[in-house]
């Protein structure tokens, strides 16, 4: 049987494709790098980016700029990177929203699972369940009992579909207690209203809630992490008190176009991991309640897959929409 003939343009191009990636990797970086942050300047992810920026410039021998592109629930910045060449010169800094939006926001102009690959995990901060002090809720058991006795408690978040919202849904799924979600536009006003009693509870980013906890304006009930946090050593984890399966946290990472050559991804991963392990970097992050969670690239990709799946289930099972 005669083999099917391929078009001449494919035959001519075929040897070229596998040669491009090694050549690109050998000369990388030959020009300025760009790190797109799909949030406004001054936020936690932007702070992490600017901590990395000067050291990456030193280590890689090229300039590195931070490009803030907020809007559309991070879709605008993500789409911008998805449309750029996969040459390793642009990377995207992401948070939980990257994996949440894959299910929550329909008809995005990109496929987050398909179009991107993990570069490195950056930092993590657990959420802390806080309550209005007037409720006299000291433990998770108190919260569960009060929710059942009163026919439900209200909990605030920084917006529908945010990691704080899904933290509340994770708690509700783990305990079966009735909870009413009250979305806000950002964490600040939500925490203020927990202090004022307009809403009962909130899963809050630990750095955001820490001042109010220390001033006794809110009560810290439990931390969603595998161990107690050094900034709140007296506050137990959910697992410690026998409530398992509560996942509520904020994490930041870096991804790039899926077609970026593996040697470039590896070099970027190794450089960032080295910077985050430096004592000065770790100390600066710890001051704001952020911790590093170093992991190989393959482990970060597995983590992203788990987050896509877990968040997708929560969104579908609870009928969460942004319509």
Q: Count CA atoms closer than 13 A to 232's CA, side-chain side.
A: 32
Helices then strands, counting H and E runs in the chain, come out as: 13, 10
Range in 43-52, 200-209, 228-237, 249-258 the model is least confident about: 43-52
What's the token pair of residue 199?
């809403």
What value does the mean pLDDT of the chain take?
A: 91
Please, are residues 62 and 29 in contact by the beta-carbon 8 Å criterion?
yes
Q: What is the pLDDT of residue 266?
A: 97
- The DSSP letter of residue 109 is S
Q: Count CA atoms closer than 13 A to 315's CA, side-chain side.
A: 22
- The DSSP letter of residue 257 is E
Distance (Å) of CA 304 to CA 95, 280, 282: 10, 28, 23
Q: What is the pLDDT of residue 134?
A: 96
Give mean pLDDT, residues 313-318: 93
Nearest one of 118, 136, 27 to 307, comparing CA atoms: 118
Distance between first and last Cα of the chain: 56
Q: What is the pLDDT of residue 1?
A: 39
Q: What is the tens place of the pLDDT at every residue in 167-206? A: 999 999 999 999 999 999 889 999 999 999 999 999 999 9
Which residues face 116 on adjacent strands? 257
Q: What is the pLDDT of residue 10?
A: 36
Give mean pLDDT, residues 212-226: 96
- What is the spatial distance between Cα 180 and Cα 200, in angstroms, rounded to a whole number? 10
- What is the spatial distance between Cα 226 and Cα 240, in angstroms, rounded to a whole number? 9
Residue 26 has pLDDT above 90, yes or no: no
Nearest one of 127, 113, 163, 166 to 304, comparing CA atoms: 113
Dihedrals phi, psi of 132, to nearest 5 degrees: -65, 130
- Superfamily the domain 31-124+250-317 falls into: Bordetella uptake gene, domain 1 (3.40.190.150)
- What is the spatial distance between Cα 134 and Cα 219, in angstroms, rounded to a whole number? 9
- What is the spatial distance between Cα 137 and Cα 145, in angstroms, rounded to a whole number? 10
Whole-number CA gyration radius for the chain: 22
Q: What is the pLDDT of residue 24?
A: 64
Task: Tell me the pLDDT band of 15, cut-offs 50, 70 and 90.
Answer: very low
Same fold yes or no, 31-124+250-317 and 126-223: yes
The residue count for the chain: 323
Task: Tell me the pLDDT band of 3, cut-offs 50, 70 and 90.
Answer: very low
Q: What is the pLDDT of residue 2?
A: 39
Range in 20-29, 82-91, 114-123 the model is least confident about: 20-29
Q: What is the pLDDT of residue 310?
A: 95
Q: What is the pLDDT of residue 5?
A: 41
CB atoms within 10 A of CB 289: 23
Q: What is the pLDDT of residue 167?
A: 96
Q: What is the pLDDT of residue 289?
A: 79
Task: Tell me the pLDDT band of 323, cut-offs 50, 70 and 90.
Answer: low
Give mean pLDDT, residues 158-165: 94
Residue 140 has pLDDT above 80, yes or no: yes
- What is the spatial distance between Cα 124 and Cα 95, in angstroms, rounded to a whole number? 10
Residue ranges of domains in the chain: 31-124+250-317, 126-223
- The DSSP letter of residue 252 is E
Class of domain 126-223: alpha beta
Give mean pLDDT, residues 37-58: 91
Q: What is the tens place of the pLDDT at every residue in 271-306? A: 999 999 999 999 989 887 788 989 999 999 999 999
Task: Tell me the pLDDT band of 20, cut-offs 50, 70 and 90.
Answer: low
Range in 23-37, 130-144, 161-175, 214-228 the model is least confident about: 23-37
Residue 40 has pLDDT above 80, yes or no: yes
CB atoms within 10 A of CB 283: 9
Give mean pLDDT, residues 52-81: 95
What's the token pair of residue 287?
């001051």
What's the token pair of residue 134?
């007037």
């Amino acid at each position: 049987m005669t083999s099917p003939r391929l078009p001449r343009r494919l035959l001519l191009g075929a040897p070229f494709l596998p040669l491009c990636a090694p050549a690109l990797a050998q000369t990388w970086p030959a020009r300025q790098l760009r790190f797109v942050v799909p949030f406004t300047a001054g936020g936690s992810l932007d702070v992490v980016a600017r901590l990395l920026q000067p050291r990456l410039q030193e280590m890689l021998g090229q300039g590195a700029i931070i490009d803030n592109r907020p809007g559309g629930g991070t879709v605008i910045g993500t789409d911008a990177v998805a449309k750029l060449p996969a040459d390793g010169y642009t990377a995207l800094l992401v948070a939980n929203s990257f994996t949440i939006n894959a299910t929550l926001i329909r008809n995005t102009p990109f496929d987050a699972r398909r179009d991107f690959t993990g570069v490195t995990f950056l930092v993590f901060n657990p959420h802390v369940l806080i309550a209005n002090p007037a409720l006299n809720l000291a433990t998770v058991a108190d919260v569960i009992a009060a929710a059942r006795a009163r026919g439900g408690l209200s909990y605030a978040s920084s917006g529908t579909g945010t990691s704080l919202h899904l933290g509340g849904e994770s708690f509700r799924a783990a305990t079966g207690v009735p909870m009413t979600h009250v979305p806000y536009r950002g964490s600040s006003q939500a925490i203020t209203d927990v202090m004022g009693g307009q809403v009962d509870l909130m899963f809050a980013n630990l750095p955001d809630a820490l001042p109010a906890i220390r001033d006794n304006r809110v009560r810290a009930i439990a931390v969603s992490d595998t161990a107690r946090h050094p900034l709140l050593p007296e506050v137990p984890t959910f697992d410690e008190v026998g409530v398992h399966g509560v996942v509520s946290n904020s994490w930041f990472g870096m991804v790039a176009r899926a077609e970026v050559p593996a040697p470039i991804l590896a070099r970027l991963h190794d450089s960032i991991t080295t910077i985050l392990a430096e004592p000065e970097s770790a100390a600066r992050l710890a001051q704001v309640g952020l911790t590093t969670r170093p992991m190989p690239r393959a482990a970060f990709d597995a983590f992203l897959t788990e987050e896509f799946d877990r968040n997708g289930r929560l969104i579908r099972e609870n009928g969460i929409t942004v319509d």
